[in-house]
Amino acid sequence: MTFRDVRWLMLVLVLAGCTAQVSPPSTYLLRPDPTPDRDACVDAVRLGEVTVAPYLDADGIVVETDPGVLRPARQHRWAEPLAPALKRYLQVGLREATGCQVIAQLHLSGDVATRIDILLHQLHATMAGEVHLVAEYRLGRGGESGESLSLHEFAAVEVLSADGYAGIVEAHARLLDALAAHIAAELKTTQRHP
């Protein structure tokens, strides 16, 4: 084999490496399990704003690679923007946990007994195999300009029960279920002691 043949062979190998196909990213939906409607209370609850910390607005599922270093995954992404997906998930979770009709429209004519606004400060995985959720929520009475009844905080950690990003998404769902149950318990306490 001549030097010229070796150069051509190396050029072909380099070009073949450049044209290798990269697998498409995996996308994940955050969806609650469907539950039958079972409105057990008279008053409806309005789920107002559900906002997320700016770092969660990324398409990729966020992982803390070192303390305080957060990276959205390139190949493992949410199939839809996270804030609206969280709102729908929590709407169903709150309906399940409270037995009340949970209305997710911000601007709705007429009053509802209670309004809930939620802010997620943290929702990410760690290299230690955990997912962290830190949130605060406000319970208010009445419509858009309703008075604030109380401000609450919630924090929890869920250990991954399955490997990979699918396990991370499952842990996200379990944490959101726990948040919905916590809010429902607080709602019951508030309704008993207005």
Q: What is the pLDDT of residues 62-101, one digit of tens each?
A: 999 999 999 999 999 999 999 999 999 999 999 999 888 8
Q: What is the pLDDT of residues 20-59, one digit of tens each?
A: 556 788 999 998 876 666 556 656 788 999 999 999 998 9
Model confidence band, residue 7 (pLDDT cutoffs 50, 70, 90): low
pLDDT at 187: 87
CATH topology of domain 26-192: Rossmann fold (3.40.50)
DSSP assignment string, 164-183: HHHHHHHHHHHHHHHHHHHH
pLDDT at 130: 96
Strands annotated E in the chain? 26-28, 45-52, 60-66, 69-78, 102-103, 114-126, 130-141, 148-159
Residues 39-58 as b or e (16 or more Cβ within 10 Å = b): eeeeebbbbbebbbbeebee
What are the residue boundaries of the structural domains of the chain, listed by start?
26-192
pTM (2 decimals)? 0.81
